[in-house]
Structure 1
Amino acid sequence: MKIIRDRLTRLGSDHKRIARGAMRVAFFLLLGKFVGAFKEMAVAYRYGISDVVDAYQFTLTMAGWLPVTAIGVLSVVLIPVLVKLKRQSQQTRERFLQELFGVTLAVGALLAVGLYFAWPWVLEWVGADLTANTRAMSQELMLAFAPVALLTLVAGVSSARLRAHERHINTLLDSIPALLILVWVMLAATAADVGPLLWGTLVGYMIQSAWLLWLASHADNVGVKPRLGFQSPYWPQLVAAAGIMLVGQVAMSIVGPLDQYTAAELGRNANATLGYANRILALLLGLGAVSVGRAALPVLSDIHSRGDAAQGRRMALKWSVLMLGMGMAAALMGWLLAPWGVSLLFERGAFTEQDTMRVAGVFRWGLLQMPFYFGVLVLVQLLASQNRYRIMAVIALGNFALKALLNPILGSAMGLQGVMLATACMYALSYGCYVLAALKSVANEAPSGPAQ
């Protein structure tokens, strides 16, 4: 009976840890998304649906692909390692974290230089359907987005270090680039070029990465001192896991550029329209699923390290069903309020009523992904906490294959609405696969002993 009482107490405590973490993340996300929404209002007011927004959206997506992919991998495989590292000696933690910082700086610098010099070829191959003016502005924006690649890696690693301690202030600091863009756009005398977007982006990421690095150093009690090398015994585990995850993450990260490529083929300003719709979707997805997902991984990793994997699976499945229902309700509400919401956020200045209807039509079809996205994110954290990266990579490859197949078919038949429908189908497949993986794991697992 004592064991049962202990397990029930711990079960409630772990649920509360996820709930408290999710509430903190949601609060920070809400504040950050408000800043992001004001930034989008300012951009819509200044630029409307224009070549400037096309250039910014294209460059943001394509230039951010590699660094965002790398951070996507690290955020999954690094947090379980950092959770284990908290139980080690100060010297062991210092060596790994300082080497991690050194490798991050080296890889980020190489990536920044490579992106800048490769960009003319990217514009020639991927952006061939963009106007000459849009391509010229995209090349100019690389003065900011090349160094942002390095800054993104530094910020992403620092965020993972904070999340391993169940500190979620990084979620609020994600809004700093948006805040600086808002300030620069509103203070600009004219909106004829990309200068305000360029400088707002660069300065915003510089402040964000420096602030996160300072907070992470205090959370780990490890100073900001990079060290090159792979002497820490934690590198083999991290590299092996990252190698497997990289395969799936690269496939999934191509989805954004694939949508941009498809949109570019659908006519002028299609990228801008898709970008506005995706920004509203990001607000809803972030407040719901991302808040729970970010809070769940360190808790599930801690439960798994205690040796009570069955409890973690039960918790994740319950949260997944709850999030699926919340996603359905949010999608229905969003569908009904789509024109009003787009009008409230964007319809002013250069953004017209006709633009509102175009964006609202695309946004409504994007809402179809929400239930599956909400439901799958907790299960992703479950499998990550168990180091089941191989099956995660296989699912990601299947998702990308379906998306790559449906994008040209549905895009040609339905336009941007078809691109959104393809994304919904991809997440439906992902949710089904993750549920099967989780259920199979529960069915095959013997009862666990007491937590270590």
Structure 2
Amino acid sequence: MRVAFFLLIGKMAGAIKEIAVAHRYGVSDIVDAYQFTLTMANWLPVTMVGAFSIVLIPALVKARYAGQHERTRFILELQGWIVVLGVLLSIATYLFWPQVLQYTGGNLSAQTKQASLELIHAFAPAVLLTLVIGVCTSRLRAHERHINNLLDSIPALMILAAILVTPGNVSVYPLLWGTLLGYLIQAVWLSALARKADGGNWGWPKPGLQSPQWPMLLNAAGIMLVGQVAMSFVGPLDQMAAASLGSNANATLGYATRLLSLLIGIGAASVGRAALPVLADVQSRGNPAQARSMALKWSALMLMVGTAAVLLGWFLAPWLVKLLFENGAFTAEDTLKVASVLRWGLLQLPFYFGVLILVQLMASQNRYKLMAIIAIGNFSLKACMNVILAPVMGAEGIMLATSLMYLLSYLCYFFAVLKYGATKKTSSA
């Protein structure tokens, strides 16, 4: 409930930011560039954060029972590697962005590509900040402290502020400076909170592998990274597919995706984010049957919630898009386009909601190899469906492909949990 409360406040800030962006820029080349640059430049750091957070939280939960000195050494070594890796990736992102834009930009207009080249001045340093934010978030979640969900809204608030203080400015700079300042404030704030949660372990980050946590963590992270790379590439894959459809398809898909993420974040993400440290703690106390029972019950409940959300959202989609976005540069025609894409995206909700808790159960059981195999299968289906559906249905086909991917994911995890639980019971007997 705490996670849901913080997420609700954060998502409200995000919704207000989207209203301001729609009013100022509408469905335009600038929004195309922002959506494309955000997704493509963030892909690798978000992938790494996703992979490491899943394996890092159980390790940090175990580290809570170690001595203060051992926990401090592990965290400082972890921070050291994150800083080194983040700096290298930020430099590489900045230097190679023109080539990335050339080979993945598809049919983006010249104005969109130029705006993207300007926006990368914010998103390149944001690579380092994203990694720092991800590790600090994992540290807080390991202590079951979820204030980070509220602080996730800081970049949106800074973009909103940048738009408000620059009336009439339709260049990329309000988005650029708002994004960079938002990530910076979030990273600094989360670092202070994570340090306090870990007992105030002051010290400079220093890369090293002396902590006994590293062998297990690196082995699990390597396996998990394979699956995470596959799943996280869905975002860039969608951007490339949308770019091939022509001008403003990225912007249309982006508005629908961000609106969908608001709906997902308030409900499913709160359960998913809160579940992993709880399930990991139950597993560490030697009660896997209780963890499995909890996960299956919550999964069934979330599946029903998602189904109800689809039925309600299908009818309310045009009204919701009109209420939030139709103003200023965002026209009634844009409302119809975004609402149509949103409806097809809503079909993923039951399966996305239902699978989240099952993913956390598998992570708490260290079933990383199975998770990687399922992720590769999901990505393969998504890639095939994008190729088949996008040329026929446009942006709606991209959303439908995502819904089919989450259907496959839910079925795989559900049967894996049933089979694994049955195997454990038989072996115990």
* TM-score, length basis structure 1: 0.93
Q: Tell me which residue corresponds to 2:140.
A: 162
Q: Does structure 1 retain, via aligned residues, the 8 Å contact 2:106–2:244?
A: no
Q: Does structure 2 retain, via aligned residues, the 8 Å contact 1:263–1:416?
A: yes
Q: Does structure 1 retain, via aligned residues, the 8 Å contact 2:7–2:265?
A: yes
Q: Does structure 1 retain, via aligned residues, the 8 Å contact 2:241–2:390?
A: yes
Q: Percent identity?
A: 63
Indicate which of 278, 293, 296 corresponds to 2:272.
293
Q: Tell me which residue corresponds to 2:10.
A: 32
Aligned residue type for 1:295: A
Q: In structure 2, what is the Cα distance between the partners aligned to 1:38 and 1:106?
A: 35
Aligned residue type for 1:87: Y
Q: Tell me which residue corresponds to 1:146.
A: 124
Structure 2: state its 5+ residue gaps.
Answer: none
Q: In structure 2, what is the Cα distance between the partners aligned to 1:374 and 1:192?
A: 37
* Matching of residues 315-394 of structure 1 within 5 Å: 315-394=294-373
Q: In structure 2, what is the Cα distance between the partners aligned to 1:166 and 1:100?
A: 20
SS at match of 2:425: coil
Indicate which of 112, 130, 133 corresponds to 2:90.
112
* Matching of residues 170-319 of structure 1 within 5 Å: 170-221=148-199, 222-319=201-298
Q: Tell me the matched-pair count.
A: 427
Q: Tell me which residue corresponds to 1:125.
A: 103
Q: Does structure 2 retain, via aligned residues, the 8 Å contact 1:213–1:224?
A: no
Q: Tell me which residue corresponds to 1:103.
A: 81
* Matching of residues 440-451 of structure 1 within 5 Å: 440-446=419-425
Question: Displacement, 1:128?
Answer: 3.6
Q: In structure 1, what is the Cα distance between the partners aligned to 2:181 and 2:269?
A: 26
Q: Does structure 2 retain, via aligned residues, the 8 Å contact 1:177–1:205?
A: yes
Q: In structure 2, what is the Cα distance between the partners aligned to 1:179 and 1:61?
A: 19
Q: Tell me which residue corresponds to 2:393.
A: 414
Q: In structure 2, what is the Cα distance between the partners aligned to 1:209 and 1:223?
A: 16
Q: Tell me which residue corresponds to 1:437.
A: 416
SS at match of 2:66: coil
Computed over aligned residues only, the root mean square deviation of the Cα atoms, in angstroms, reads 1.0
Q: In structure 1, what is the Cα distance between the partners aligned to 2:418 and 2:106?
A: 46
SS at match of 2:390: helix
Q: Deviations over 1:228-255 (max 9, x none)?
A: 2111111111100000000000001110
Indicate which of 72, 78, 92 corresponds to 2:50.
72
Q: In structure 2, what is the Cα distance between the partners aligned to 1:374 and 1:112?
A: 33
Q: In structure 2, what is the Cα distance between the partners aligned to 1:422 and 1:275?
A: 16
1:400 paired with 2:379, answer: yes
Question: Displacement, 1:190?
Answer: 2.8
Q: In structure 1, what is the Cα distance between the partners aligned to 2:161 and 2:418?
A: 49
Question: Displacement, 1:189?
Answer: 3.4
Q: In structure 1, what is the Cα distance between the partners aligned to 2:208 and 2:219?
A: 17
Question: Displacement, 1:191?
Answer: 2.9
Structure 1: state its 5+ residue gaps.
Answer: 1-22
1:425 paired with 2:404, answer: yes
* Matching of residues 16-95 of structure 1 within 5 Å: 23-95=1-73
Q: Does structure 1 retain, via aligned residues, the 8 Å contact 2:51–2:221?
A: yes
Aligned residue type for 2:168: T
Q: Deviations over 1:284-319 (max 9, x none)?
A: 111111100101000000011011111101110010
Q: Does structure 2 retain, via aligned residues, the 8 Å contact 1:310–1:448?
A: no
Distance 1:224 1:287, change over 3 A: farther
Q: In structure 2, what is the Cα distance between the partners aligned to 1:448 and 1:385?
A: 20
SS at match of 2:228: helix
Q: Does structure 2 retain, via aligned residues, the 8 Å contact 1:120–1:139?
A: yes
Question: Displacement, 1:129?
Answer: 1.5
Q: Does structure 2 retain, via aligned residues, the 8 Å contact 1:28–1:172?
A: yes
Q: Deviations over 1:101-154 (max 9, x none)?
A: 101100000010000001000011001421111111101101100000000000
Q: Deviations over 1:167-202 (max 9, x none)?
A: 000000000000000000121133331000000000
Q: Deviations over 1:384-412 (max 9, x none)?
A: 00000000000000000000000011111
